[in-house]
Structure 1
């Protein structure tokens, strides 16, 4: 990337002084959450708005598409009975098709310290050129499509130096083949330090590698580095994204591990991934969901222990080899 930038700017490498730093944000805690992508999983945030109102932490929820953005926005509006007065709203939506009046309201009000706006549901369209220093949470509702995009968006948290959180809710389909880059898939599924995984992606030859499980500056405790490092924390008073949210809806990594075990022919992890995939096919509106109905989903689940190739899936009655490849990825994601 550096060479490409220098080439476009017609800069001569030997005559150019380059200052390189890894994009580490010491005050941002990284959290990874396997998800069923049901909007009720964010009810902890909705409850916070109901309880704390204007005192709730400023939060951006980045969505992969406008439909997800609209669904979450509607869920929250119904939950807090938001009125028509823009000035009194606590939640807003921002994407390329948002009305100009609403866009102007968000861009003018959300940066203010005393604004009523506390939660913005947005696509990648939000945030370009806007500096909002007091954002305390950035949530990705779905795996980001690239770590460059994720680094920029998660970096909107804690710009004033306060301790902040970046959380990714991802489903099996989010990280399936052709849905995201391999680097994103590795980032979501790694058991190593998330901070190290992220900064290593941007490493240049003249920058030292980050140390495993640590920040660039000394952390107060491992639990304040990332959700993976927290496993080895012995501080006795661990920061917990779950406890902070008083949420019973989120799946812990231990629950996720148990969920991922194949138990005979009935496997809930496979079923959830396939149902998530089916919902995407319906949204796609190209008719592919007609080939992969509920009956076919149950057939695949019942035979999941014996599926090792696309041909195995086709032999169950699915005639679309491209769909078979996607399904194989979703099953492999659970098995691995």
Structure 2
């Protein structure tokens, strides 16, 4: 290690000083800072925002609120100060599994750390070691540090130890406006009174302006430095699919690759499902396809969940089918796919969950498969899980967050820009579609435009008349019926369930020229825009969702009849409505074929396409000698990379730690590329 510490020469230091001159008012890190960073943490340089936080803690003893994208290096911001200064940092984190992983990771790096809480079986011994100054980093749960015993312990630590910092991880849990609000976190305001002179660092990857303000207020931060790294994760490719009729496996193949004739995932994969039952169903189907996977949900025992977690992070199994219980504790940098088989609850939850993908900076896929039924399932689960204690205002907040996420699913614009705009990130605003961004950008760049009926040149459809028909049917029949009753009325049903007085109404059957699916699409759009709402009605032997016109819907019916201020509903058609609007016959270009989808029930046929009509990016060109040489070099690199992966796994097994704690995938890729043959060459490796 001493030899490696000499890798910082005068040129290196000058380069780093120039780098930090761009950060106003911040003195750049000195050589002794960089030596500790490299010897202990294995990094040659700080990122500017990392150093800005660390410097303010070490030099100014200042509070910080840091909103930093996943993978940016939040942990280093609270681990470095006490390691460098020789004091103690107290880290408050919501998940035992996450803290256990971090303690293990620090221990492997020879940084003394411990976990203090109800999960600690040797609590008395750990506390003795704490007061003997044996630990630099102490992890605690919010429940522990806010309890009477924990508060007294913090007071004693403040009196006898050099407490450098209190770090609050996943700080969005503090805010009732956040997606993962936890009551215990709200109690953390007590920390300020217990440790009044210790700087507090609140860190999270997901916080809107409102949530950030709530964090600062709740923790009583004093003139905090607010750090904002941006929310863009450019290495993540975002895509959304409607669930098809060809089943789970057929859907999931859109997120898989074909290798040696078999469908597989491209690397470590997390598949999130909405319910426990779904996780078991999806896992069963994948196992039948020969894909080794494990399930994870809150119904498993603590030991079972811990075993699944360890098997995944230690690369013993590469696919996990889980509910959101498989959450923030997943500190595995090389997850290549995060799949949601079913919609997420809201944008904040989704961003947090896809944050497990590509933490090593390598390209990764984030895919959603959803159906309209997911909206009802999420509404039901949310009411059971969260609304028992919630106020009406909180319920409205949660429902609004779910409705907003549905807009993300159905947008035809850039999904990355949609997310960035939600989090008020203007750092990477781009109005034009770009490659390797999202499915919508790819379609606009590569696919032949598809024509849709009833859609104008701006890509909008006028739903005014359809909305008028559906909302009028609700007005005619009255509130309290299920949605299907109104659709049956519009479609002209003669069912015995349809009252004769409704069957004789002029509006009865007025919508029979459109299908059930059409009217369900229209209804969902109107529900998401709050023209009507649904409420669960419980009967002695059954329950159902009843519909009720909202004020917006009633006002629309008044306005639409007034020609002077006639209401208009112009929307981008969502995916399921676009399917119904697609003009026929449809022609699909694929490689060197045109596939014609006929308008009748006749048998489809395939016709060989003239090469001159194929989009230029689809034409396969003959390989040149340069191509062959490039392929050979690439294959050689991959062989070395695979051997390095195997060696890393062996070392991790011997050291009883996670493989990524030995070396990241990026370091292994660089090793395979550079193939250093000396220590001097190894020093040039970027890490």
In 2, Cα distance between the equivalents of 1:47 and 1:297? Answer: 44
Do the aligned residues in 1 keep the contact of 2:275 with 2:323 (CA within 8 Å)?
Answer: yes
Shift in Å at residue 197 of structure 1?
0.4
* Residue of structure 2 in register with 1:85 after alignment: none
In 2, Cα distance between the equivalents of 1:190 and 1:173? Answer: 18
Q: Give yes or no for the alignment of 1:227 onto 2:439.
A: yes
Cα–Cα, structure 1 residues 212 and 182, in superposed 2: closer, same or farther, change >3 Å? farther
Highest Rg: 1 or 2? 2
Cα–Cα, structure 1 residues 70 and 55, in superposed 2: closer, same or farther, change >3 Å? closer
Do the aligned residues in 2 keep the contact of 1:32 with 1:227 (CA within 8 Å)?
Answer: yes
Gaps of 5+ in 1: 83-89, 215-220, 239-252, 261-290, 311-318
Shift in Å at residue 301 of structure 1?
9.1
Q: Give yes or no for the alignment of 1:188 onto 2:390.
A: no
In 2, Cα distance between the equivalents of 1:147 and 1:191? Answer: 17
In 1, Cα distance between the equivalents of 2:544 and 2:304? Answer: 44
**Matched ranges for 1:163-178 at <5 A:** 163-175=363-375
Do the aligned residues in 1 keep the contact of 2:414 with 2:438 (CA within 8 Å)?
Answer: yes
In 2, Cα distance between the equivalents of 1:186 and 1:24? Answer: 19
In 2, Cα distance between the equivalents of 1:104 and 1:254? Answer: 48
In 2, Cα distance between the equivalents of 1:66 and 1:49? Answer: 30
**Residues 101-153 of structure 1, C-alpha deviations (whole Å, 9 max, x = no match):** 4322221121134x3x1211001111322211111111011111111110011
Match of 2:283 among 73, 76, 82: 73
Cα–Cα, structure 1 residues 132 and 174, in superposed 2: closer, same or farther, change >3 Å? same
Q: Give yes or no for the alignment of 1:92 onto 2:301.
A: no
In 2, Cα distance between the equivalents of 1:108 and 1:142? Answer: 25
CA RMSD of aligned residues (A): 4.2
In 1, Cα distance between the equivalents of 2:323 and 2:486? Answer: 31
In 1, Cα distance between the equivalents of 2:357 and 2:343? Answer: 17
Cα–Cα, structure 1 residues 302 and 209, in superposed 2: closer, same or farther, change >3 Å? farther
* Residue of structure 1 in register with 2:226 after alignment: 18
* Residue of structure 2 in register with 1:211 after alignment: 429
- Tell me the SS of whatever aligns to 2:229: coil
- Tell me the SS of whatever aligns to 2:221: coil
TM-score norm. by structure 2 comes to: 0.32
In 2, Cα distance between the equivalents of 1:51 and 1:297? Answer: 49
Do the aligned residues in 1 keep the contact of 2:258 with 2:264 (CA within 8 Å)?
Answer: no
In 2, Cα distance between the equivalents of 1:178 and 1:28? Answer: 25
Higher normalized contact order (CA 8 Å, seq sep 6+, divided by chain length): 1
Cα–Cα, structure 1 residues 51 and 112, in superposed 2: closer, same or farther, change >3 Å? farther
In 1, Cα distance between the equivalents of 2:374 and 2:239? Answer: 17
* Residue of structure 2 in register with 1:118 after alignment: 318
In 1, Cα distance between the equivalents of 2:409 and 2:419? Answer: 10
Cα–Cα, structure 1 residues 28 and 54, in superposed 2: closer, same or farther, change >3 Å? closer
* Residue of structure 2 in register with 1:58 after alignment: 268
Cα–Cα, structure 1 residues 193 and 54, in superposed 2: closer, same or farther, change >3 Å? closer
* Count of residues in Structure 1 that have an aligned counterpart in Structure 2: 253
In 2, Cα distance between the equivalents of 1:22 and 1:159? Answer: 15
In 2, Cα distance between the equivalents of 1:98 and 1:127? Answer: 15
In 2, Cα distance between the equivalents of 1:31 and 1:136? Answer: 14
Shift in Å at residue 58 of structure 1?
1.5
Shift in Å at residue 33 of structure 1?
0.9
- Tell me the SS of whatever aligns to 2:367: strand
Shift in Å at residue 162 of structure 1?
1.2
Q: Give yes or no for the alignment of 1:39 onto 2:261.
A: no
Shift in Å at residue 157 of structure 1?
0.9
Shift in Å at residue 49 of structure 1?
8.7
In 1, Cα distance between the equivalents of 2:486 and 2:288? Answer: 32
Q: Give yes or no for the alignment of 1:129 onto 2:329.
A: yes
Cα–Cα, structure 1 residues 104 and 321, in superposed 2: closer, same or farther, change >3 Å? closer
Higher strand share: 2
Do the aligned residues in 2 keep the contact of 1:61 with 1:119 (CA within 8 Å)?
Answer: yes
Do the aligned residues in 2 keep the contact of 1:213 with 1:229 (CA within 8 Å)?
Answer: no
